[in-house]
């Protein structure tokens, strides 16, 4: 792909050294590229809300404000027009498949060399989809949670955030405070979540969400 000017990227990772390495790669690939960095999900959202078209978000799965796939779920729901490439230390094929099912445009293991990262970003920026060449998603066995993934994908951005907080054990009044909404609004969100996931209680909703996380839906403390 020929060098292109004017692209705007967001690198979302809580490790400054890795953000710096990605920045160098992007700057070597594109002329006049604009790159913003974020170390948390809130920082990513703030950058996307500030306006201006963003061409690509490079998203780490594990950083402050993110629980498992919830960061990807939230960003895809809130900013569906912005392509997202997951850049993660996790190389589990099931995790790769989950991310693609949740709408990622690509999945890049952090262990890959610069040339492979360049190839991945080139493919995505040309409108394609990129996954590790040694991961054959079609060869993975049938997944019994595929329907649940589809249901989770129907949650609105705010419902994703509420589900994240439910998973942390927060009460309705605590969630209302964190989101600056009324308890009645939170109750309405919880009811909608239960309906969409096909469960009857808050506990069942959290258990359902945890089933698709492969051990990743766990509390992550801000660094």
Check pLDDT > 70 for residue 22.
yes
Residue 214 region by backbone torsions, left for phi larger than 0, else alpha for psi between -120 and 50, else beta? left
Q: How far is CA 118 from CA 28, 41, 113, in A?
A: 10, 25, 9
Predicted local confidence at residue 143, as pLDDT: 62
Predicted local confidence at residue 216, as pLDDT: 43
Check pLDDT > 60 for residue 197.
yes
- The 3-class SS string of 142-153 reads CCCCHHHHHHHC
Predicted local confidence at residue 80, as pLDDT: 85
Q: How far is CA 106 from CA 130, 167, 188, in A?
A: 5, 27, 34
CA dist., res. 127 & res. 145, Å (int): 28
Predicted local confidence at residue 149, as pLDDT: 78
Compute the mean pLDDT over every residue in the chain, rounded to the nearest whole number.
84
Please name which of 41, 37, 31, 51 lies closest in space to residue 9, comparing C-alpha atoms: 37
3 state SS of 8: strand
Q: Which domains does the chain have, with CATH numbers?
A: 8-139 (3.40.50.2300), 146-211 (1.10.10.10)
């Amino acid at each position: 792909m020929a060098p292109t000017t004017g692209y705007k990227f967001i690198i979302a990772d809580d490790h400054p050294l890795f953000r710096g390495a990605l920045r160098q790669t992007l700057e070597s690939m594109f002329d006049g590229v604009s790159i913003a960095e974020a170390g948390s999900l809130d920082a990513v959202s703030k950058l996307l809300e500030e306006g201006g078209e963003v061409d690509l978000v490079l998203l780490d799965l594990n950083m402050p404000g993110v629980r498992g796939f919830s960061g990807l779920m939230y960003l895809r729901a809130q900013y569906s027009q912005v392509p997202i490439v997951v850049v993660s230390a996790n190389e589990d094929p099931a995790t790769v498949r989950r991310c693609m099912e949740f709408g990622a445009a690509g999945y890049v293991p952090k262990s890959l060399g610069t040339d492979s990262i360049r190839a991945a970003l080139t493919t995505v920026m040309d409108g394609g989809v990129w996954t590790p060449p040694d991961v054959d998603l079609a060869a993975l066995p049938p997944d019994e949670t595929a329907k649940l993934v589809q249901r989770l994908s129907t949650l609105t951005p705010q419902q994703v955030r509420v589900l994240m907080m439910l998973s942390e054990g927060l009460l309705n009044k605590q969630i209302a405070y964190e989101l600056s909404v009324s308890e009645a609004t939170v109750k309405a969100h919880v009811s909608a979540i239960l309906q969409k996931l096909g469960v009857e209680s808050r506990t069942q909703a959290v258990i359902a969400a945890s089933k698709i996380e492969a051990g990743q839906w766990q509390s992550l403390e801000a660094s």
